Amino acid sequence: MKATIFYFTLFFFGIVYSQTEENPLNVLFVGNSITYFNNLPQTFEQIANEQGNYVTIDQHTPGGTGFIHHVENNTLYAKFRNTVWDYVILQPGSSESIGYSQPIASTIQRAERLKDSITKYSPCASIHYYEISYGIVDNTPESLQQYYDRQTIIKNNLTQMANATNIPLIPAGECFKASMQANQNLFLWGSYMNIHPNTKGSYLAACSFYNAIFKAPIVNTTILNGIDINEATSLRDQAEATTLNHLDDWLIDSFTSTANFNYSATNATTLHFTNTSSNNDHVSWDFGDGTTSTLENPTHSFDFNIQNNYTIVLTAYKDCKKHHKVITITQDTLTISETHKDTLKVYPNPFKNLIYLDFINPEQLKNISIYDSLGKEISSNKFTLQENTAVINMSKFSKGIYFIKIKLNNKMIIKQVIKN
């Protein structure tokens, strides 16, 4: 006896409707030389465009300046007025960040003035603070400890600013600190007694910017900025581990919204959708067949006799901002022997770091690939095989939804898993 098992083939991509190569997102960097050294904004732009999150950047970064200067600068206010910004990155001055030149309360007041002006002309702009790294005096253990202590002060100050102004921070400084703790030979500044990042430091910061703004890893990038590929990979991994694995610590999930959902097939033509969006007021669904819903967790049936595929759009609203998650579904049927339908077991689900795949016959295994919620392949054949069990280490990936594609001889199985 045979049973027919129905699978949905899904193609995943997340978009903001205005975000295309022809109509990119506008990103403004406000800071000083710590921002503009080594073309950090341009590196971020190159990474974002390569990853399909098209942006165009501008900057106001006079050397030696801080918020105390920016709030009095008419050139900056003209930039706020003349462009509708999607993202604005605010870097406090180096001495402001650590609280040497100005009390943090005064810097917060100036941040509020900058925020008010940004949102007056770009009410839907997402604003982020750039948490800098302060540098190391010399190569003694005492100096290294002083660096760690200073970085803790900067983190605490930026966190205080974030909570006071409802603006999340990009933890570039924490990425520097974690990288130094992992490998002190991977020096990230121009020299000792220098607070400016070198090429490696600016690259690390640019990666953290991308991770924080788009809440996504950098996949298969060719942007290396002249850095050795192994060092560049290490820096990207560190940025992802520090930034994506701790979004709550940087108040990113608290003060920015995201559209996301998962789903399950209830029969051959019906999907049940579960809204997993963060920090939104309400949602709406478009099922691609002329019907819509404002339910939180709708169930919808699709008629594949009318058309071969449907594009489902979830829109999450927060104030005037709209975020979208999009998938396109097609129906694919697979007939397998009932006695073999339990060929594979995937557990635990949800999982923390390790996920296990139990096979009745592991000799059938041809390939295992992992995709993120945007449909980008992020890993291929990176697992260890222990008798009848494949073990996948996903500790470096952030929390969220992933899809595991398993090829067994001529059969393809897709499993959705959730990392908590």
- Which residue did the predictor score with more confidence, 116 or 258? 116
Is 85 a residue whose pLDDT tops 60? yes
The CATH number given to 342-420 is 2.60.40.3080
User: What separation in angstroms does the CA of 20 have from each of 48, 129, 175, 394, 411?
Assistant: 12, 25, 30, 31, 36
Give the Å distances, CA to CA, from 349 to 5, 103, 246, 388, 417: 21, 47, 20, 19, 6
pLDDT value at residue 178? 95
3.30.565.10, 3.40.50.300, 3.40.220.10, 3.40.50.1110: CATH of 31-255: 3.40.50.1110
Query: Residues 205-227: pLDDT tens digits?
Result: 999 999 999 888 998 889 999 99
CATH number of 258-340: 2.60.40.10
Stated as kind and residue range, the H or E segment containing 5 is strand 2-13
**Structure confidence by residue, pLDDT tens digits, 347-371:** 888 888 888 888 767 677 778 888 8
CATH 2.60.40.3080 location in the chain: 342-420
Q: What is the mean pLDDT of the chain?
A: 86
Q: Write phi, then psi, for 255 (nearest 5 degrees).
A: -115, 5
To the nearest whole percent, how much of the chain has pLDDT over 90? Answer: 53
CA distance 330 to 401: 20
CATH 3.40.50.1110 intervals, the chain: 31-255
Residue 155 binned pLDDT confidence (cut-offs 50, 70, 90): very high
70, pLDDT greater than 50: yes
Per-residue model confidence (pLDDT) at position 147: 95
Pairing type for strands 126-130 and 384-386 reads unpaired
What are the start and end residues of each CATH 2.60.40.10 domain in the chain? 258-340
